[in-house]
């Protein structure tokens, strides 16, 4: 397995990570036995980078990942997140908490659920608009000093916030959505990461599964699947985005790979400091994703991909209105 470095502080991970969210939340068809098998299969296939969060489940995903991967602790790099708060009485309700006193509380709770003594990469899931980023990162830095966390990360922040955070403590990685239909980081964040020596971790590099071609109709989404509430999966947006998938499928056929492999190969081609974390809870999809590492894109391939998936190609916002408000970007592209 190829490895890549995140940041300048010595964090090295597999070139492809595994996002674990869907094993416990948001996406339908959960199966703990298959999820456990998928985690172990990922380890056998050379994946060392595993991503979870306290909001997934909530809490259940950390428990799952910790239970299965805990016995293999020395072989893995474990990333988790805090700051996105869910109301137990109303799971659909979201809030953000980046207050310094909450940082230590959240970390201790995650360590307990994971059954581990240290978190390798600890992210702020979303920026708390009521708390200066300097205060939040300052509290996170205290966790590093206490030996509870090895490296720090941020998620969905703009360049200004990233600069302010780095002035307090080195940031190893920035995690944001990035794929053929979500290219906001190219507005400046990617450049800022490279200037500051921050690695970049794309989540949802397969467009929440849409870019794989597995969804042909809105009705293909199970009733309890989060994506039914995602603007890009609804109405006219779904049909317009389906055209993009058809183009990807055509190019994948020419490369003799699957649409998922083509989409992931494109993300991997963005730089050696980019480590995508496609999520899956099934071994067969994990193996398909890993095949992207063998897909080599030529200049002609990249030009062809750019012609069908330029920035702003996706129809619809990335999130429902309430969650969209938690995102920071350097610039805002109009969706078509």
Q: Could you give the residue numbers annotated as active site? A: 56
Q: What CA–CA distance (Å, rounded) separates 330 from 46?
A: 35
Of 81, 95, 97, 105, give the one whose Cα is nearest residue 21.
81
Q: What CA–CA distance (Å, rounded) separates 278 from 38?
A: 13
The number of helix segments (H) and strand segments (E) in the chain equals 11, 11
Q: What CA–CA distance (Å, rounded) separates 166 from 153?
A: 10
For residue 49, which phi and psi values (nearest 5 degrees)?
-105, 115
> Could you tell me which residues come within 8 angstroms of residue 282 by beta carbon, excluding any fewer than 6 positions away?
34, 38
Q: What CA–CA distance (Å, rounded) separates 226 from 189?
A: 27
Give me the residue label for tokens 């989540």.
Answer: 203
> Could you tell me which residues come within 8 angstroms of residue 184 by beta carbon, excluding any fewer than 6 positions away?
176, 177, 178, 329, 330, 331, 332, 333
> Could you tell me which residues come within 8 angstroms of residue 239 by beta carbon, excluding any fewer than 6 positions away?
none
């Amino acid at each position: 397995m190829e490895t890549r470095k995140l940041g300048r502080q010595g964090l090295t991970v597999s070139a492809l990570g595994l996002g674990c969210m869907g094993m416990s939340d948001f996406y339908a068809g959960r199966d703990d036995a298959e999820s456990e098998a998928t985690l172990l299969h990922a380890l056998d296939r050379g994946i060392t980078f595993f991503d979870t969060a306290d909001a997934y489940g909530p809490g259940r995903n950390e428990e799952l990942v910790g239970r299965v991967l805990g016995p293999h602790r020395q072989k893995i790099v474990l990333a988790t997140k805090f700051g996105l708060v869910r109301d137990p009485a109303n799971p659909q309700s979201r809030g953000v908490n980046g207050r310094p006193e909450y940082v230590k509380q959240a970390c201790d709770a995650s360590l307990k659920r994971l059954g581990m003594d240290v978190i390798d990469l600890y992210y702020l899931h979303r920026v708390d608009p009521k708390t200066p980023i300097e205060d939040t990162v300052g509290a996170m830095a205290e966790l590093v000093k206490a030996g509870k966390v090895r490296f720090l990360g941020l998620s969905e922040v703009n360049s200004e916030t990233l600069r302010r955070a780095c002035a307090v403590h080195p940031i190893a990685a920035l995690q944001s959505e990035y794929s053929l239909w979500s290219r906001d980081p190219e507005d400046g964040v990617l450049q800022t990461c490279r200037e500051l020596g921050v690695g970049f971790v794309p989540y949802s590099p397969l467009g929440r599964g849409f870019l794989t071609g597995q969804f042909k109709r809105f009705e293909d989404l199970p009733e309890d699947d989060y994506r039914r509430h995602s603007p890009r999966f609804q109405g006219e947006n779904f049909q317009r985005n389906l055209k993009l998938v058809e183009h990807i499928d055509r190019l994948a056929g020419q490369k003799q790979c699957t649409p998922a492999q083509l989409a992931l190969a494109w993300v991997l081609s963005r730089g050696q400091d980019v480590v995508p974390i496609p999520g899956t809870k099934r071994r067969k999809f994990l193996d398909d994703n890993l095949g992207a590492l063998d897909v080599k894109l030529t200049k002609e391939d990249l030009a062809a991909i750019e012609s069908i998936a330029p920035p702003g190609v996706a129809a619809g916002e990335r999130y429902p209105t309430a969650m969209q408000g938690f995102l920071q970007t350097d610039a805002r592209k109009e969706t078509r």
